[in-house]
Every structure is written in structure tokens, then in C-alpha cells.
Amino acid sequence: MKVYFVRHGESVGNKAGLHQKVDMPLSENGREQAGKIAERLKKFKIDVIFASPITRARETAEIISGSLNIPVEILDNLIEAKGPSEIIGKAVKDPEARRIRNLIAENFTKGNWKYSDEENYDELNIRARSFLDHILNHHKDKDILCVSHATLIKFIVCKMVFGEELTPRIFHLFFHHFLTSNTGLTICEYEEEGGWWITHFNDASHL
């Protein structure tokens, strides 16, 4: 079994440097990026395309779907990690948004700590486990493409590698030291004896 993760193309929110709303579409550059990864994915055997329901990911998946002639199935577990409502729509460089992000980062290793209504480590952990259980229980005989978001892709990869030994501290370090590009490709393989293998991470050589 192989799982191909693709981060969505550049959105208008990415381009403007904003904490994004769920309905922000791809930018013109983002659509071009999606076309390039779609062309690259023709080289692989893909049986199923799953996508986050958030607009920027769904649009990326639809462009890929049109190229591969494989329908898109929306999977809520692939949605981006929710940020606190107080920063949505604000510039990433906004002082108040930065203060809130720093406060969340300082308390992230507590696992269940929250600033307000954001998704915390414990909730992300449950969601990543649910996603992996789903594909292993129902799609183990298929090769799957998942179009999702930076934080969620990183969390699922961490969960693949560390399993129940994953901690908030491990993910915090991984999140800050492993960068992802728009339409970056991550490839993971599963074997019954060895478990998960990460063969590529954030490969953006198609851009």
C-alpha cells in the first residue's frame, strides 16, 4: 500500500500572508502548481483520491482528478488543523496574531491546553489515528492520493513513524523543522511486517 500526500496549491490567502478562511480559493499560481503536480502524478498508480473539504485543497484535488480521470472523495479527517477564531483573516505578521501563536506554542506540549477554540494536540492525535485506521481497515489493497494541508500532513506522518509513542514535544519539533511547499509530494509505504516507511517528504521537484 502506498499513500501519496499532496499539500494544496498556493491559495489567495497564502499569497497575501493571511491566516486563512476555509473558503479562500487557489491563486492563479496555485492552479498552475496543481496542474504541474497533476502531470507528475500520471507516472504513479493511484486508485483513490481523497481530499480535504476546504476550498484550496478541494480545488487542487479537482485539477488532479481531471488529469488522472479519478473521482475525488471528500474526507473530513483531512481538513487542516483549526486555528483560533481570533486570528482567522488576520495577517501572519499581525502583532496580536503573533502573540496568540506564541502563547499556543508555549503551551502546546501540555497536550490538551487551549487558547480558545483551536484544535489542540490531543484532538489532532485522535483525528490522525482515525484516518490511519480508516485507510488500513478499508483501503489496504489500494494506492491512495490525499490532498490536504501542511500541519495535518506533518501530523499524520509523525503518527505513522511514532505511533502511540508520539508526544506533543516530538510533533512540536517536527512541525518547526520540516517545511512543506505548496503541492509538495510526500510518499509513504505500508508493509505488514515493517509498518510505515516514509520514502519522500515534500518533494517539489515538479515546480
pLDDT category of residue 109 using cuts at 50, 70 and 90: confident
**What is the separation of C-alpha 153 from the centre of its chain, rounded to a whole number of angstroms?**
3
* pLDDT-above-70 percentage for the chain: 100
pLDDT in tens, 175-202: 999 999 999 999 999 999 999 999 999 9
Show the cell assigned to 172.
512540536
Q: pTM for the complete prediction?
A: 0.95
Q: Is the pLDDT of residue 10 over 90?
A: yes
* Dist CA 23 CA 190 (whole Å): 33
pLDDT at 152: 97
pLDDT in tens, 122-176: 999 999 999 999 999 999 999 999 999 999 999 999 999 999 999 999 999 999 9
Residue whose C-alpha is closest to residue 47's, from 132, 118, 139, 130: 139
Burial, 177: exposed, middle or buried (Cβ in 10 Å; 0-12, 13-18, 19+)? exposed
* Dist CA 167 CA 2 (whole Å): 25
* Cell 499539500 -> residue: 7
CB atoms within 10 A of CB 123: 15
pLDDT at 196: 97
**What is the separation of C-alpha 125 from the centre of its chain, rounded to a whole number of angstroms?**
14
Topology (CATH level 3) of domain 2-80+122-203? Rossmann fold (3.40.50)
pLDDT category of residue 45 using cuts at 50, 70 and 90: very high
Which H or E element spans position 102?
helix 95-107
pLDDT at 101: 95
Mean pLDDT over the full length of the chain = 96
pLDDT at 111: 81
Q: Give the strand order in the sheet containing 48-51.
A: 72-74, 48-51, 144-148, 2-7, 185-191, 195-203
Domain residue limits, the chain: 2-80+122-203
